[in-house]
Amino acid sequence: LCNSRDVVIPDSIQGKTVTAIGDRAFSLKDIRSVHLPKSLKRIGIGAFIYHGISSLKLPSSVTFVGSDAFLSGSSGSLTSLD
């Protein structure tokens, strides 16, 4: 769900748990911030390629991050949560 440059990915959509972000789902989007659900397990190939995210906290549930998932973004920080 996107509101301007701030993206909130909910824990569930229509009663189904969100566990993945598809390949190139947010590529070429000028995103400033993303809230990822604790249920997230997979971030697809190039999911956020050419983004504008300044910082991102990955939930500890994430077990796969596709190649180039965060390629050519702003020079922010990527943090993994325990």
Beta strands in 2-41 (DSSP E): 2-3, 6-8, 12-13, 16-17, 20-21, 33-35
Token couple for 37: 């659900």
pLDDT-derived band at 80, boundaries 50, 70, 90? low
State the pTM of this model.
Answer: 0.82
pLDDT tens readout for residues 34-60:
889 999 999 999 998 887 888 788 899
Type of residue at 58: L
- Please measure the distance between the N-terminal and C-terminal CA atoms of the chain and give it in whole angstroms: 25
Neighbour tally for 69: CB within 10 Å? 24
C-alpha–C-alpha distance, residues 44 and 48, integer Å:
9
